[in-house]
Amino acid sequence: MELQYWHSISNPIHLEVLENLVEEFNETVGKEKNISVVPTFNGSSADLYSNVIAAIKAGTAPDVTLALRPYVADYLQTEYVVDLAPYIADEKVGMSDFDDIFEGLSDGGSNYAKEGMYSLPIHSYSEVLYYNVDFFNENKLSVPKTWDELIATSKKIHEITGAPAFGWDNLVGSFMTLVKQYGGRYTDQDGNIYFAKEDEDVALKVLNLWKDNVEAGIWRTAGEDMFFSGPFANEQIPMYIGDSVEAGYIPNKNPDLNWATAPVPQVSEDTAANLSAGHVITALNTTGDPERAYASYELIKFMTSKEANLAVVTAGTGYLPIRQTVVDSEEYQNYVKDGHDFLTAAVDQSDKYFYEPAFTNEITTSSAVNGAVKIMMQEVAENKVDAETALNNLKQTVGIQ
């Protein structure tokens, strides 16, 4: 049986790992079970999504595909997404090591509007605090662990440089994270937009936090820079929050910069939260053939195994372990010690991981809500719109009366 596996991996290093893993599957599990997998690059994540949607409509969808969770929520508007739960729990062919996957990642596969397990994490990254080690040492600054400490440190830096001290790449992610850290809720898989209703007071607190610190001159948005890795590498800003994958870009921009990473600051340990994102892997079965669905599961089980995850994270892809056994392995520990200690801060937050809720309903989608949140954040942080007005504008956009 030949399976089609569509993906969006263009990084040459990562692509080689993916193709080697598929080849290994074909020569081992595939040979034993008469399964042959053909991997195919289908453009960016957005391009891949569009191609999968078109293929579903044409009845030619791939058996297995990489995706982002909001895309899986869209695929679930059809009956073709394979529920992996029965296979995972099966005594003979199941995943006895399923609980080894970080709970904050694995839970995302069952938190869609439809009951079941419809995806598994495969390529994970989280957010970390990047900081300029020399700048902090020269000015006797401590790395902030809480938001009160970060604001105080930002003020000290501003006094030294006269410029903004801190930024956050992902405005939407910052809003999600801070809403959770302040004890609120963002959205859920059923499309409840809590931050614009029941938890509106928390949303306003987060918006005003951003507004006040930007207007005080101590924070800034990425703006035209898009990402802070450039201004950070050029020593224009001494600390920022960005995803862990960006660590691979900073040395290329300034090989002499002495930098490090730390966990994202928290409001309190009781509400600790750190956004995790990345690719998931899912199976589609437009033919209704149970043997094909099972074969797809076998590929997914292999590609999310300890051995496969270890190969991905130790190849220099920038992605993080999805399993505790990978973190504990001698191979990974040696990799971290060999010039990759910046990964430690991200992995140390694995017990705080949360995933972006994904939903599609008759009113709106999680992607549309995120787009409206980005505009709301830009209004407050860049255009001096007051928090209440910006939130009301969002309500109109997403259909909340």
**What tens digit of pLDDT does each residue of 252-311 get?**
899 999 999 999 999 999 999 999 999 999 999 999 999 999 999 999 999 999 999 999
Instruction: Identify whether the C-beta of residue 301 lies closer than 8 Å to the C-beta of residue 6.
Output: no
Kindly state whether residues 296 and 231 are assigned to the same domain.
no
What average pLDDT is seen over the chain? 95
pLDDT at res. 401: 67
Q: For residue 238, what pLDDT band results from cuts at 50, 70 and 90?
A: very high
* 258 shares a domain with 205: yes
Number of domains in the chain: 2
Instruction: Annotate 121-146 with DSSP letters as a single string.
Output: EEEEEEEEEEEEHHHHHHTTPPPP-B
Report the SS3 class of residue 36. strand
Same domain, 107 and 171: no
Strand pairing category for 353-354 and 239-243: unpaired
Residue 267 DSSP one-character state: S
Cβ-defined contacts of 384-387 (< 8 Å, 24+):
384/211, 384/215, 386/211, 387/204, 387/207, 387/208, 387/211
What is the C-alpha to C-alpha distance for residues 50 and 114, in angstroms, rounded to an integer?
Answer: 22
Task: Give the predicted TM-score (pTM) of the model.
Answer: 0.90
- Residue 30's domain spans which residues? 2-124+276-354
Q: Residue 297: which H helix or E strand, with range? A: helix 290-303
State whether 268 and 134 are in the same domain. Answer: yes
- For residues 330 and 392, membership in a common domain is answered with no
| Contact criterion met (CB below 8 Å) for 128 and 239 | no
φ/ψ of residue 61, rounded to 5: -65, 150
One domain for residues 380 and 306 = no
CB 61 within 8 A of CB 48: no
Neighbouring C-alpha atoms within 13 Å toward the C-beta of 172: 17
Residue with tokens 């399923």: 98
Q: Is the pLDDT of residue 72 over 70?
A: yes
Residue 234: pLDDT over 80: yes
Which two three-digit tokens encode residue 370?
């995120």
CA gap 342, 354 in Å, rounded: 20
Which of 175, 180, 162 shows the shortest CA–CA distance to 208?
A: 175
CATH no. for residue 338? 3.40.190.10
DSSP string, 240-259: EEEEGGGGGTHHHH-TT--E
CA dist 118 and 282 (Å) reads 6
Closest CA to 37 of 48, 47, 51, 27: 27
Stretch among 28-37, 200-209, 356-365 having the lowest mean pLDDT: 356-365
The 10s digit of each residue's pLDDT in 375-400 is: 999 999 999 999 999 999 999 999 88
For residues 18 and 83, membership in a common domain is answered with: yes
Domain closes at, from 336, 354, 372: 354
What does DSSP assign to residue 116?
S
Q: What is the mean pLDDT of residues 305-334?
A: 96
Q: Do residue 288 and residue 268 come from a single domain?
A: no
Return the pLDDT at 379.
97
Q: Are residues 260 and 382 located together in one domain of the fold?
A: yes
Tokens representing 51 are 């191609």
Q: Are residues 176 and 215 in the same domain?
A: yes
Category of 223 on φ-ψ map: left (φ > 0), alpha (ψ -120 to 50) or beta? left
pLDDT digits (tens, 9 = 90+) for 3-45: 999 999 998 999 999 999 999 999 999 999 999 999 999 999 9
306 shares a domain with 264 = no
Range 77-103 average pLDDT: 97
User: In the predicted model, what is the mean pLDDT of residues 46-62?
Assistant: 96
The 3-state DSSP class for residue 278 equals strand
